Chain A
Amino acid sequence: ETGVTQSPTHLIKTRGQQVTLRCSSQSGHNTVSWYQQALGQGPQFIFQYYREEENGRGNFPPRFSGLQFPNYSSELNVNALELDDSALYLCASSLVGTVNQETQYFGPGTRLLVL
């Protein structure tokens, strides 16, 4: 176990709704990255937060937004859900600024189904 937790584990929404996914990073980690993994594909980078600031963003529209809190936990918000948003959403934490900063540890993911 990596110590990264995500909630909820599963979620069903309808098109047009909004969703919030949550992540608690591994103790002591200061950076959280979010990835979207469609069925049968590799994870795709959504964005990264370092010390509560967005620190890089992938090719995702603005309706994907996030937050990082002072305790380094994080939220991913998706507005105006589309059918293609159905995927496993993964959170990964790391400790940037140290020898092992390239190592990202993943949580179990939240499986989102949009109907």
Chain B
Amino acid sequence: QKEVEQDPGPLSVPEGAIVSLNCTYSNSAFQYFMWYRQYSRKGPELLMYTYSSGNKEDGRFTAQVDKSSKYISLFIRDSQPSDSATYLCAMTRNAGNMLTFGGGTRLMVKP
């Protein structure tokens, strides 16, 4: 069993929909949680990071962490075709150390 599990998708939604992306993890030592967006044949781009449990909002993106359930989420409001990409969750125990990634969820937003 992988330390971080993520539904690979693909997830197909119409433009303007609210998208929910999720990851579960098994290592309770993880404290820092990130979401990266990766376009085809590009490197991952950091979208959000959160320390410990709680919510964080940035524009159309909201990240939620529930450490008690070992569950993290990324919500995208008013989704756009340009949001079509693979979304990777990542987490680490100590700031600056190795990131453990999920396998990524492929999102397609149709016009």
Establish whether residues B102 and A56, one from each chain, have CB atoms under 8 Å apart when the complex forms. no
Give the residues from 14 to 40 in chain B that come closer than 8 angstroms, CB to CB, to chain A: 32, 34, 36
Q: How many residues of chain A are within 8 Å of chain B by beta carbon?
A: 29
Partner of B100, one of A2, A31, A45: A45
A45, B95: Cβ atoms closer than 8 Å: no
Question: Are B97 and A48 touching (Cβ within 8 A)?
Answer: yes
Taking the closest CB of chain A, its distance from the CB of B103, in whole angstroms, is 5
A to B contact number (C-beta, < 8 Å) = 66
Give A105 to B42 CA distance when docked, in angstroms: 13
Given contacts A102-B32, A108-B43, contact A43 B88 (CB under 8 A): yes
Q: Which residues of A contact B (CB under 8 A)?
A: 2, 4, 31, 33, 35, 40-45, 48, 56, 58, 90, 92, 94, 96-97, 101-109, 111
Residues of B within 8 A of A (CB): 4, 6, 8, 32, 34, 36, 41-46, 49, 51, 88, 90, 92, 95-104
The 28 sampled A-B contact pairs (Cβ below 8 Å) are A2-B43, A35-B99, A35-B101, A40-B8, A42-B90, A43-B44, A43-B101, A45-B98, A45-B99, A45-B100, A48-B98, A56-B97, A56-B98, A58-B98, A90-B43, A90-B44, A92-B99, A96-B95, A96-B96, A101-B95, A102-B34, A102-B95, A102-B96, A104-B99, A106-B36, A109-B42, A109-B43, A111-B41
